[in-house]
């Protein structure tokens, strides 16, 4: 990292601790715990783009290209006065960042401000959500010209792209959790899949759990008591523990399940309102509900559920609960990045996850990966958290990866069948097509300046971005690959510190 110009030797009076994080390939990444620095830094209020508005702009595009920047945060230099505040101790001595590290809570806003400035003259055909850049056009000729213009703008700013993660000249691309192109907008994850795949209960206890889930939203369901009566009858003392389903019971179960998937229970997200994320874990799975509030009443925006993998079933209870938090935030990152939200859990020890020491390395590294998100943790007793609890005990698919959007909903009376924007058998995106782009470097700099304690950490000021320019093309891009880096700040191979995920 010293060889790359990312860190330098330091004599700072500041020092943040490091946490070693094992990677899947056996290598080690070290992360910086910036919680105390973030606590005394003002939050950068620069607005993040609204995902729904960005996607609406792409709807009619016939040709699209996505551009991924190589270690984007590391291409933004820190102002000299700010560097000392990022200092961290290693066996090799004290070091400080020269470029913007991952983990500063103003980093995302700084990056967004920089991209908005770079693309200001190209807004008709290009946009960016942090480091996810997309160019969209109606004709092939326009696309070639507009793509070149955007690449040259990035080149003038001194930014470098990663050709292996770019897609050029596609008819459809994956962007912000959706497949977009050809006038279509399809979520990569159906936000009601966890409910649609909810299996019919086999025991009285499972029936009670399902009634707890739908009962959480009973105020939105017309004639709830009448609809639920056949299921309530199944839980009576004189009924067998093993449920014997009647036609009336089956109809009631399916009607209530449909109610959860349609309005007025399920609603589209309103990006002008804060989000509430409810999570829970059981011995078999994870569950989460993304919600919002109107006049003191919560309503769901998305449901998530997945099974625990065999190794995860051996985790301690607090580790399973922390895993549910990380998994849910990762799955919903396009809704939550740059927005303050409330995390609701029924596991009281998680209230202290933002101040806990690194006694549990697994929980600590999960939390450090969530440092860029702004959230307040609130405890809610399990009896009041039945929606997320139920989803964790009867999970759906193992690996949800995004969130869909409600297209139309009816006032549910147990009869109407709602339509949603994502079908269970949706087609996959077409293979990506690769092309080439210009190379070069130099241009306008963008500094990130932590400043004094209590000042903004990660704010952009005029300056130049690092890097040698935009490098050509490559293969189809696949999100989720982790960038590599040296194992320690002396520049040895292979892991990373203060690194973006």
pLDDT in tens, 71-96: 888 888 888 888 999 999 888 889 99
Q: Does residue 163 share a domain with residue 39?
A: yes
CATH of the domain at 144: 3.30.70.270
265, part of any domain:
no
Written as one string, the DSSP assignment of 255-309 is HHHHHHTSTTTS----TTS-EEEEEEE-SSEEEEEEEEEETTEEEEEEEEEEEPP
Q: pLDDT tens across 177-222, in order?
A: 778 887 777 766 556 677 777 888 888 888 888 888 888 777 678 7
The rounded Cα 99 to chain-centroid distance in angstroms is 24
3-state SS track over 105-135: CCHHHHHHHHHHHHCHHHCCCEEEECCEEEE
Residue 154's CB: how many other CB atoms inside 10 A? Answer: 26
Segment 89-112 mean pLDDT? 87
Please tell me whether residues 109 and 227 are part of one structural domain.
no
- Whether 197 is covered by a domain: the verdict is no
Q: Is the pLDDT of residue 314 over 60?
A: yes
145 shares its domain with 246: no
Once rounded to an integer, what is the mean pLDDT over residues 115-136?
92
pLDDT for 25 equals 65
Lowest mean pLDDT among 106-115, 265-274, 285-294: 265-274
Is the same domain home to 359 and 331? yes
Q: 362 lies in a domain?
A: yes
Q: What is the pLDDT of residues 378-401, one digit of tens each?
A: 888 766 666 677 777 754 333 333
Same domain for 110 and 175, yes or no, is yes
Does 459 map to a domain?
yes
CA distance 200 to 477: 39
One domain, residues 170 and 231: no
| Measured distance CA(31)–CA(20) in Å, rounded | 6
The answer to whether residue 473 sits within a structural domain is: no
Same domain, 360 and 319: yes
Final residue in a domain of this structure, among 370, 393, 416: 393
Q: What is the mean pLDDT of residues 103-121?
A: 90
pLDDT bracket for residue 411 (50, 70, 90):
very low
The parent domain of residue 32 ranges over: 7-187+429-464
- Predicted local distance difference test score (pLDDT) of residue 409: 30
Q: Is residue 411 part of a domain?
A: no
Q: Decide if 163 is inside a domain.
A: yes
Contact 363, 322 (CB under 8 A): yes
**First CA to last CA across the chain, in angstroms?**
17
CA atoms within 13 A on the CB side of 376: 8
Q: What is the mean pLDDT of residues 142-160?
A: 94
Tally the domains of the chain. 3
Same structural domain, 230 and 372: no
Same domain, 23 and 158: yes
pLDDT, mean over the chain: 74
Judgement on whether residues 13 and 59 belong to the same structural domain of the protein = yes
Considering the domain architecture, whether residues 87 and 183 belong to the same structural domain is answered as: yes
**Whole-number Å distance between alpha carbons of 96 and 79:** 12
Percent of the chain with pLDDT over 70: 72
Residue 441 has pLDDT above 80, yes or no: no
The values of phi and psi at residue 448, to 5°, are -110, 125
361: its two tokens = 């390395």
Q: Which candidate, 435, 500, 460, 473, places its Cα nearest to that of 118?
A: 460
Does residue 465 carry a pLDDT above 60? no
Contact indicator for 387, 216 with CB cutoff of 8 Å: yes
Question: Would you place residue 104 in the very low, low, confident or very high pLDDT band (cuts 50, 70, 90)?
Answer: confident
- pLDDT over threshold 60, residue 491: no
Contact between 2 and 489 under an 8 Å Cβ cutoff? The reply is: yes
Residue 494: what pLDDT? 33
* Shared-domain flag, residues 29 and 78: yes
Domain-located, residue 177: yes
Parallel, antiparallel or unpaired: strands 167-170 and 173-175: unpaired
Output the six-digit token pair for 110. 């700084």
Question: Which of 393, 417, 438 is the last residue before a domain boundary?
Answer: 393
Q: Check residues 455 and 389 and name the one with the higher pLDDT.
A: 389
Q: What CATH code is carried by the domain that includes residue 380?
A: 3.30.420.10
| Residue 4: pLDDT band with limits 50, 70, 90 | confident
**Residues whose CB falls within 8 Å of the CB of residue 485, separated by 6 or more in sequence, listed in order:** 1, 29, 71, 494, 495, 496, 497, 499
Over residues 265-278, the mean pLDDT reads 84
User: Where is the domain boundary, 344, 376, 393?
Assistant: 393
Dihedral of the alpha carbons of 312, 209, 331, 46, in degrees to the nearest 10: -130
């Amino acid at each position: 990292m010293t060889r790359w110009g990312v860190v330098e030797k330091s004599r700072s009076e500041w020092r943040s601790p490091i946490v070693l994080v094992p990677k899947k390939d056996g290598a080690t990444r070290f992360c910086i715990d910036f919680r105390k620095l973030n606590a005394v830094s003002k939050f950068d209020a620069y607005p993040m783009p609204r995902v729904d508005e960005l996607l609406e702009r792409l709807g009619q595009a016939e040709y699209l290209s996505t551009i991924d920047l190589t270690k984007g945060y590391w291409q933004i230099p820190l102002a000299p006065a700010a560097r000392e505040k990022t200092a961290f101790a290693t066996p090799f001595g004290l070091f400080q960042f020269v470029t913007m590290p991952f983990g500063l809570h103003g980093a995302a806003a700084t990056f967004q401000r920089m991209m908005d400035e770079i693309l200001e003259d190209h807004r008709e055909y290009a946009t960016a959500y942090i480091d996810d850049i997309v160019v969209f056009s109606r004709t092939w000729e326009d696309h070639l010209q507009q793509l070149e213009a955007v690449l040259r703008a990035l080149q003038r700013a001194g930014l470098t792209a990663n050709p292996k993660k770019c897609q050029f000249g596609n008819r459809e691309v994956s962007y912000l959790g959706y497949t977009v192109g050809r006038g279509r907008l399809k979520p990569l994850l159906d936000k009601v899949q966890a409910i649609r795949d909810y299996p019919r209960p086999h025991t009285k206890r499972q029936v009670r759990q399902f009634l707890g889930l739908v009962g959480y939203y009973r105020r939105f369901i017309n004639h709830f008591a009448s609809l639920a009566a056949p299921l309530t009858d199944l839980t009576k003392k004189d009924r067998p523990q093993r449920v014997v389903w009647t036609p009336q019971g089956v109809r009631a179960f399916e009607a209530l399940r449909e109610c959860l998937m349609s309005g007025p229970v399920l609603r589209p997200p309103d990006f002008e309102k804060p989000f509430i994320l409810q999570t829970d874990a059981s011995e078999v799975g994870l569950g989460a509900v993304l919600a919002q509030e109107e006049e003191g009443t919560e309503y769901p925006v998305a449901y998530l559920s997945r099974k625990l993998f065999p190794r995860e079933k051996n985790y301690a209870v607090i580790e399973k609960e922390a895993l549910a938090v990380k998994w849910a935030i990762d799955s919903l990152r396009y809704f939550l990045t740059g927005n303050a939200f409330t995390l609701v859990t029924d596991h009281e020890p998680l209230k202290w996850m933002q101040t806990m020491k690194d006694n549990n390395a697994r929980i600590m590294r999960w939390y450090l990966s969530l440092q860029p998100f702004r959230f307040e943790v609130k405890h809610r007793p399990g009896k009041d958290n039945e929606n997320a609890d139920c989803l964790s005990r009867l999970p759906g698919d193992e690996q949800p990866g995004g969130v869909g959007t409600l297209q139309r909903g009816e006032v549910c009376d147990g009869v109407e069948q709602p339509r949603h924007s994502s079908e269970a058998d949706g087609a996959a995106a077409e293979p990506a097509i690769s092309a080439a782009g210009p190379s070069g470097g130099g241009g306008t700099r963008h500094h990130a300046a932590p400043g004094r304690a209590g000042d903004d950490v990660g704010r952009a000021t005029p300056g130049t971005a690092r890097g040698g320019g935009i490098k050509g093309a490559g293969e189809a891009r696949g999100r989720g690959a982790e960038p590599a880096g040296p194992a320690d700040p002396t520049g040895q191979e292979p892991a990373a510190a203060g690194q973006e995920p």
